[in-house]
Structure 1
Amino acid sequence: MSKAPLYNQDFLMWTQQQVKCLKKGRWAELDVEHLVEELEALGRNEQKELASYLQVLLMHLLKCQYQPERKTQSWVNTISNCRNQIQDCLEDTPSLQRLLEDWEWIQKYYRRARRDAANETQKLIETFPLECPFTIEQVLDPEFL
């Protein structure tokens, strides 16, 4: 009998069934194909969460640097929250640190933050540097901007 129907019909029940099989060592009953798929997705979700916080943080740092007269407590709170969330991501999943050491990965999210900052400030995108003007240490430093 195929193990896929429950996966497609009731994901929560499927996960509970898989946990039960794992705990009892019933390896033959595991839906290995979907377990692998879900584990891979979990890893991608961890990366996406970090990337999302980084992008929002970079956008707000740009806004503060290029439109300081409009800086609000809301911006400050967003910056602080993003830094805290990034720290939580790194504490929960230390292997994510390697992404913050990858300049190309940071640049990918900086380009998006640059576009978003231009939209929010209504400034030309050319106002903002083509490459991220901040080091990762500055980005994560609670005293920076």
Structure 2
Amino acid sequence: MTEATSYDTDFHAWALRNAELLREGRLDELDVEHIAEELESMGASERRELLNRLQVLLLHLLKHQYQPERRGKSWQLTINHQRTAIERLLEQSPSLARMLGAENLGKVYRKAVRDAVIETDLDGHLFPDDCPYSLEQLLADDWLPDD
């Protein structure tokens, strides 16, 4: 079995083999192209996870603000869980913070509003066009939007 074939047929064995080659300094034997693809994929996966968690956080903050009569522990736990997960992602990969700029925040907010309209049956026009929360508010452990 060649290393290229191993990547396609047994990813785990391929990864272990390339780690071994790397540790032994046998760089000319590495499957460089696949390693580069995997590293890029890992970065993309972290970016997706960060933005997905931000979307869930925004959705629950919107529900908290616009449906105060339905607030419960479940929403609060989801808010806390998403904040903790985002915090961990940013601790492990600080460069991901650049993904939380105004452009991405706006895109994610619009998707959270879309989901909030579906979940709450509220009219979409009730929600602001732009995200009403600052990044600091979104990530603060003790902050919740006003009614």
Report the counterpart of residue 108 of structure 1 in structure 2: 107
Partner Cα separation in structure 2 for residue 122 and residue 4 of structure 1: 52
Report the counterpart of residue 78 of structure 1 in structure 2: 78
Gaps of 5+ in 1: none
Report the counterpart of residue 52 of structure 1 in structure 2: 52
Aligned pairs for 1:11-90 (under 5 A) are: 11-90=11-90
Report the counterpart of residue 98 of structure 1 in structure 2: 98
> Shift of the alpha carbon at 1:4?
2.1
Amino acid at match of 1:131: D
> Shift of the alpha carbon at 1:2?
6.0
After TM superposition, the runs of 4+ consecutive aligned structure 1 residues lying more than 6 A away are none
Per mean C-alpha deviation after superposition, the further-off stretch among 2-11 and 106-115 is 2-11
Aligned Cα RMSD in Å?
A: 1.3
Amino acid at match of 2:135: I
- Count of paired positions: 144
Alignment of 1:124 with 2:123, yes or no, is: yes
Given the two structures, how large is their TM-score scaled by the length of structure 2?
Answer: 0.93
> Shift of the alpha carbon at 1:41?
0.5
Given the two structures, how large is their TM-score scaled by the length of structure 1?
Answer: 0.94
Alignment of 1:135 with 2:134, yes or no, is: yes
Partner Cα separation in structure 2 for residue 125 and residue 114 of structure 1: 7
Partner Cα separation in structure 2 for residue 17 and residue 125 of structure 1: 53
